[in-house]
């Protein structure tokens, strides 16, 4: 492999952009340690993300799977290899209430597009995927949602948090009690939804075209209320209007608000593993709240 002028193997982000768009590069600007905005002929901009092979493959497959639903716009994937993912850049706009309602309707349609099973990865995506910087295993299982959610989304991160010392072993029993009671806490059974999987505000882009775009998915088959709970966990502009639009299209089952804590256990424990004790305490609070219902 050759080195680029910035010392990166195989040509770096600019070379990846040229290779996958078929256009000459006219400029590049690093946005973070792993993300570069590259301008190609004609003034078009693309985003080039660096990652390991599994993460790149998972994100590319997730974006394509979400796009296939024809519901929420996502950046076009120009191509990827073992190190680089090249997608369109979304020109930024401003959040607005009307766009929020439309986004809610589109998110409901995305979820309704469905998935083959709980835990199913996107077509072509790896089983060993990622949510942010944390590993996440996507294995399609013939299970009901409560059992799958406990075994494949909550307990793996609970065990790691305990092993890392972020949660004390005695505290873990609170979360384990929620897992044991999930069949009664989960609400009516639902089919697997097509989830974005990491739906926090940073992955929701308000475009200059008046649409709301989704980026950086951890896509898999899951329960649609998990996406909604994550959106509520970290906040989002005009969240009330997003939920209004969602409810107009595909209303959640009655009692959704009582189940928010159950669905937030997964992202909170992921964040506890990545970022420490503060999120562990939030996870314990969510678990106690669920048990009090």
DSSP 3-state of 226: helix
Distance CA(238)–CA(14), nearest Å, equals 36
Contacts of 115 (CB under 8 A, 6+ apart): 192, 193, 194, 195, 220, 221, 222
Burial profile 199-212: b = 16 or more Cβ within 10 angstroms, e = fewer: bbeebbbbeeeebb
Closest CA to 171 of 260, 271, 261, 282: 282
Tokens of 195: 């989830």
198 as an active site residue: the answer is yes
Q: Tell me the C-alpha to C-alpha distance, in Å, between residue 212 and each of 135, 177, 188, 204, 283.
A: 27, 38, 30, 7, 29
Half-sphere exposure of 237 (CA within 13 A, CB side): 15
Catalytic residue among 143, 198, 209, 240: 198
Q: Annotated active-site positions, please? A: 198
């Amino acid at each position: 492999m050759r080195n680029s002028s910035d010392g990166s193997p195989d040509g770096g982000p600019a070379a990846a952009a040229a290779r996958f768009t078929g256009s000459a590069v006219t400029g590049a600007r690093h946005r973070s340690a792993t993300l570069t905005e590259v301008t190609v002929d004609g003034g078009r901009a693309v985003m080039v993300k660096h990652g390991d092979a599994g993460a790149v493959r998972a994100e590319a497959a997730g974006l394509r799977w979400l796009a296939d639903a024809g519901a929420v716009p996502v950046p076009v994937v120009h191509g990827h290899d073992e190190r680089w993912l090249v997608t369109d850049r979304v020109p930024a706009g401003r959040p607005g209430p009307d766009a929020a309602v439309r986004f809610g309707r589109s998110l409901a349609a995305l979820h309704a597009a469905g998935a083959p099973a709980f835990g199913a990865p996107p077509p072509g995506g790896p089983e060993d995927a990622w949510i942010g910087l944390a590993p996440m295993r996507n294995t399609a299982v013939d299970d009901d949602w409560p059992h799958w959610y406990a075994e494949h989304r909550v307990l793996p991160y609970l065990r790691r948090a305990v092993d890392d010392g972020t949660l004390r072993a005695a505290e873990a029993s609170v979360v384990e009690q929620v897992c044991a009671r999930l069949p009664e806490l989960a609400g009516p059974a639902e089919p697997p939804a097509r989830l974005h999987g990491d739906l926090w505000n940073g992955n929701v882009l308000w475009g200059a075209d008046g649409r709301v775009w989704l980026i950086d998915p951890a896509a898999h088959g899951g329960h649609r209320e998990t996406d909604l709970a994550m959106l509520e966990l970290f906040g989002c502009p005009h969240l009330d209007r997003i939920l209004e639009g969602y409810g107009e299209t595909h209303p959640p089952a009655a009692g959704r608000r009582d189940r928010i804590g159950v669905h937030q256990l997964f992202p909170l424990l992921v964040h506890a593993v990545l970022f420490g004790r503060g999120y562990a305490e939030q996870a314990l609070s969510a678990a106690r709240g669920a048990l009090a219902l």
